Amino acid sequence: MRRAPVALPIVILLLACREGAEDGLVAPLGAVPLVDVDPDPDAIEVSVIAAPASWAFLPGKPAEVWAYRDGNAEDAAARVPGPMLLGKLGDRVTVHFRNELPEPTTVHWHGLKVPARHDGSNVSQTPVAPGEGFTYEFTLTDAGLFWFHPHVEADAQIERGLYAPIVVRGADEVPVDAERVLVLDDVKLESSGLLSPTITSLDLMVGRQGNVLLVNGESQPRVEARAGARERWRLLNTANGTFFNVALAGRSLRVIGWDGGLLARPYEVEALVIAPGERYDVLVELGGAAGDAIELQTRHYDRGHDLPDPGPRRLATFALQAPVKAPAPALPTRWGEVAALPITDATPRRSIRLGEQAAAGPADEPRFSINDEQYPAVTPLAIGAEALEIWEIENGAEMDHPFHVHGVFFQVLDQPHLGWKDTVNVPRDATVRIAARFDNPGTWMYHCHILEHAERGMMGVLRVGATK
């Protein structure tokens, strides 16, 4: 069966929508799947083009952006976020990428365990020049929510609109009435609706701060949903520096998955802090009745440097329609297959120190470092193949820093939940311990995912399989 003309029906069949539900919401709010032209059901072949485009973050006020478009979809326009890569465990993926931007770029597959030469990072690939292309090839080895974006001048290129979600389905999905991919972002706009060219010293210090919040490229969208529905929301924060502290008025969020897939055991929260680069899967019991409206908000999170509290801010409104007809089935008794890594007192430990220094004067920029070194003048870490290590990430700075490692998942120690992460928030004046088995050989990067920080030095290099 050829996927290209029937991509959307296949997505519907893959959804774990409970029997009797009248509609499984597949890709609402603009998360449109890339067209796959490979007839093999276990292979995906797509085309992604990065190009200048127009996108209206505010109704009737188009902005000049850089965005991804689907090279296999006839007359497809570039969009923010870009079209979604959708697949299942074990799929072999080929991505034909073409750069139609006026400057070099790459594609980094954030969270996917790809071969190092296809990671799209500063150390794994020569940037793709304007008018040139590159073919990325990898196999989907983990189920979950991931994303792709540039790793060259990332603070500027992602802010312009170059990012898109990735969903990889596993063998067992959770029974829901609807599934949504909610890509969270913010942009700094002029009154005209155009992207602001102004970068303040505060933007550099804490990460660029937008004045308009976005859900899948829209400001405060109104979304239809079924009263009484159980929904699975896959939440992704693509912002340069903004932390989202999401909450749903009058309802709790059941967290079932992190960056690397389902947790061993879910947990419930009233609000969920999502740092830049992080992903969370949550179940929501909407309840209510037709005609009700439920507001998804982000609340203030104190991440340092005395950022002001603007109060709760609306992200989206869910307008409840006619209720679902079928009763909700029981939730699974077993969730993710996550075994704790075999940590002992003899497990090697490595110290990672995050540092920041305010600008010395009006003409200077703040400095960011790891172990007192600023990328690219860094000493690569040498890690043996299959080595198990504990990293003690110490943040003595005055603000939180989300820490991302390429090519591997890790477990966060000293906390009650067991799951896999590739990005973790390290609070100010705190130390976070992570453990990882470095089973993906090659040269990789690790860095703060506040993009202004990474591009100004808070980035390092590790060589897995290297001799210590």
CATH number at residue 201: 2.60.40.420
Interatomic CA distance for residues 409 and 422, integer angstroms: 5
What per-residue string of b and e applies to 351-389 under the rule 16 or more CB within 10 Å gives b? ebbbbbeeeeeeeebbbbbbeebbbeebeebebbeebbb
Average pLDDT in the 334-362 region? 94
Domain boundary among 140, 169, 198: 169
**pLDDT value for 72:** 97
On the question of pLDDT at 190 being above 90, the answer is yes
Count of alpha carbons within 13 Å of 461, Cβ hemisphere only?
17
CB of 31 closer than 8 Å to CB of 55: no
pLDDT over 80 at 371, yes or no: yes
Q: Has residue 393 been placed in a domain?
A: yes
- Distance CA(263)–CA(53), nearest Å, equals 38
Q: What is the pLDDT of residues 263-318, one digit of tens each?
A: 999 999 999 999 999 999 999 999 999 999 999 999 999 999 999 999 999 999 99
Instruction: Please state which of the ranges 23-37, 319-333, 383-397, 443-457 shows the lowest mean pLDDT.
Output: 23-37
CB 144 within 8 A of CB 151: no
Four-point Cα dihedral 223, 228, 232, 238, nearest 10: 30
Q: Are 438 and 395 in contact (CB under 8 A)?
A: no
What is the Cα gyration radius of the chain? Answer: 21
Q: Assess if residue 38 is contained within a domain.
A: yes
Among the candidates 132, 149, 169, a domain finishes at 169
Residue keyed to tokens 């550099």 = 204
Same domain, 287 and 366: no
- Do 13 and 97 sit in the same domain of this protein? yes
On the question of pLDDT at 319 being above 60, the answer is yes
CB neighbour list of residue 266: distance below 8 Å, 6 or more residues apart: 254, 255, 256, 283, 335
Pair (185, 243) in one structural domain: yes
pLDDT at 32: 87
Structural domain ending residue among the three candidates 152, 169, 186: 169
pLDDT at residue 359, as a whole number: 86
> What pLDDT is stored for residue 16 in this prediction?
40
139 and 238 co-located in one domain: no
Looking at residue 183, its pLDDT comes to 97
Tell whether 332 is covered by a domain: no
Q: Would 343 be classed as within a structural domain?
A: no
Q: What are phi and psi of 300, to 5 degrees?
A: -65, 135
Question: Are residues 289 and 190 part of one domain?
Answer: yes
Say yes or no to pLDDT of 96 above 90: yes
Q: How many residues does the chain have?
A: 468
pLDDT at 10 over 50: no
Are residues 182 and 158 part of one domain?
Answer: no
Residue 329 within any structural domain of the chain: no
Residue 367 lies in a domain: yes
With cut-offs at 50, 70 and 90, classify the pLDDT of residue 466. Answer: low
433, 390 contact by CB (below 8 A): yes
| Residue 374 structural domain | 349-464
185 shares a domain with 120: no
143-152 confidence digits (pLDDT tens): 999 999 999 9
Q: What is the mean pLDDT of the chain?
A: 92
Sheet holding 349-357, edge to edge: 367-370, 349-357, 387-395, 430-438, 411-412
114 and 87 fall within a common domain: yes
Per-residue pLDDT tens digits for 388-432: 999 999 999 999 999 999 999 999 998 999 999 999 999 999 999
Tell me how far apart the alpha carbons of residues 183 and 216 are, in angstroms, rounded to a whole number: 5
Q: How many domains does the chain have?
A: 3
pLDDT at 28: 45
405 in any annotated domain? yes
One domain, residues 246 and 387 = no
Tell me, yes or no, whether 132 and 184 share the same domain.
no
* pLDDT, tens only, 154-185: 999 999 999 999 999 998 788 899 999 999 99
Residues 200-237 pLDDT 10s: 999 999 999 999 999 999 999 999 999 999 999 999 99
**Residues whose CB is less than 8 angstroms from the CB of residue 37 and which lie 6 or more positions away in sequence, other chains included:** 2, 3, 4, 45, 46, 47, 72
Are 306 and 187 found together in one domain? yes
Instruction: Tell me the C-alpha distance between 143 and 234, whole Å.
Output: 12
- Token pair in block for residue 328: 């909700």
Structural tokens at position 198: 């102004």
Q: Are residues 283 and 354 in the same domain?
A: no
**Dist CA 148 CA 84 (whole Å):** 9
With a pLDDT cut of 90, the percent of the chain lying above it is 86
Is residue 123, in this structure, part of any structural domain at all?
A: yes
